[in-house]
Structure 1
């Protein structure tokens, strides 16, 4: 078990953007240390050419349309279109304590449950005693929830732990700062399934830290895969156990880190998702 997996979304468990080119600039706030300097003109040219090539390839692929996708030249180990296609099933309508509930008793339902539970267990609400108890009682199987509750209370009430991540002893952010803890599922897969139990892996990225002037723990990005053991109980999927590991971690792009103000504004304006395939 890892605390990295027990962080969750706030406000229900989960601005206007522009595309712009930014030139290298100096200085900044607490996030300035994460900013990356400018690259050489040759590096920029290679990047532009690479993007153009990718766009041309994408357009060509899209225009293939009527070609026979079943030809023998492809790699059978590569994902096919059904891996990312919409399932056609409707999202669950029910909610329990703000968390989606009433998942289907099939593999898609188990994957959706695991993805949504990852979002809840990775939210900032886990740092508040009352909402943490609500989340745990909703996500975990009844015969597991009580023991898990005690373990999490001990972990999240640790003054040393809270101090290390920059929070006050009551789990709140210092004045003038905003606490960010979000999990964004990237993909799911079922590795074992029966009508009464399922094992589902959730690959996700996690945002965690404090945004605001004077933050000693700026918001950073991490990547994990958590394997959930689920059981079918009370007409829904519930967690009985999980294991977390790092990655897969993609290569970082040459992007400048946002300012503390921009990060705080984004967290306040962009809500999290509460349903995933």
Structure 2
């Protein structure tokens, strides 16, 4: 399974579980995609999002080859209200240590599992995943040891596929074209524990993502998309580690008719505004 296939095959839920095919449509204009334009027409941007949005979660080699699962059950947000709780501040520090600049040492509690899932989603959806050395460090840090090697192999193959890199506007080495900045960032909005005990947890993370190329001549302008990913975690080595995941589209809010920022403003914002260490 190549990443080119991954980004061209999307299910009805927009995640890894479907088998429907989606065609890629790139914007016709080669000019600045931001300069004063309105977000009124969304068809081309939606097509682009379906192709490149999923790259922010290229986090499991098995998922590339096995996308036949049905995540319809995870779409039920009604549920038993007594079994859910809002994502609210608790006053507890999520972590006090980092491993390779990645938060680590989460508490062996439900809140610790939520913080781990949120922080791991951020790093797994970052532009660092397109750098081989950094990607290896990330996978080793967030995945359970018994699955990390397998994930690593699949991800290396995915991120080195020239067709995939070309489709998203990057060079063979994963670098952005001259004069452009590659942006890939995830911003968690909320988390929810589906199930948990002392050794394992299933946590949903609802988030928005930014993905694309900012700069003159970009054919893949930075766009936003919304997903919910369910992370399967287990307690190993005195920390929560990822063993598997399921992704689906949404919930997606109604977009406002705001003027898109210029490419320069978008690049500055991503460079100047750092991320967070997320806690429940």
TM-score, length of structure 1 as denominator length: 0.73
Match of 1:266, SS state, is helix
What residue in structure 1 maps to residue 202 of structure 2? Answer: 199
Distance 1:237 1:151 in 2: 22
Whether the aligned pair in 2 keeps the contact of 1:140 and 1:239 (CA below 8 Å) is yes
In structure 1, what is the Cα distance between the partners aligned to 2:81 and 2:232? 26
Q: How many angstroms does 1:211 deviate by?
A: 0.4
- Structure 1 residue matching 2:251: 3-state secondary structure: coil
The runs of at least 4 aligned residues of structure 1 exceeding 6 Å deviation read 1-6
Alignment of 1:171-250 (within 5 A): 171-250=174-253
Larger radius of gyration: 1
Question: How do 1:121-136 and structure 2 match up within 5 A?
Answer: 121-136=124-139
Q: Aligned equivalents of 1:150 and 1:33: distance in 2?
A: 43
Unmatched runs of 5 consecutive residues or more in structure 2: 8-13, 17-30, 41-79
Question: In 2, are the aligned partners of 1:119 and 1:274 still within 8 Å (CA)?
Answer: no
- Call closer, same or farther: CA 1:36–1:235 in 2, change over 3 Å: closer
Contiguous gaps of at least 5 residues in structure 1:
7-27, 38-76
> Paired residue for 2:169?
166
Alignment deviations for residues 164-200 of structure 1 (CA, whole Å, 9 cap, x no partner): 0000110011111110000000000000101000000
Q: 1:5: how far off?
A: 8.9
Is the contact between residue 32 and residue 218 of structure 2 (CA under 8 Å) also seen in structure 1? no
RMSD of aligned C-alpha atoms? 2.4
| Contact 2:202/2:232 (<8 A) preserved | yes
Residue 34 of structure 2 aligns to a residue whose secondary structure is: helix
Per the alignment, residue 148 of structure 1 pairs with 151
Inter-partner Cα distance in structure 1 for 2:189 and 2:223: 17
Write the distance in 2 (CA, Å) between the matches of 1:130 and 1:187: 30
CA distance in 2: counterparts of 1:219 and 1:193, whole angstroms: 36
Q: TM-score normalized by structure 2?
A: 0.72
2:98 and 2:156 mapped to 1: Cα distance?
A: 24
Alignment partner, residue 12 of structure 1: none
Q: How does 1:1-277 map to 2 (within 5 A)?
A: 29-32=32-35, 34-36=37-39, 83-277=86-280
Measured in 2, the distance between the counterparts of 1:5 and 1:237 equals 24
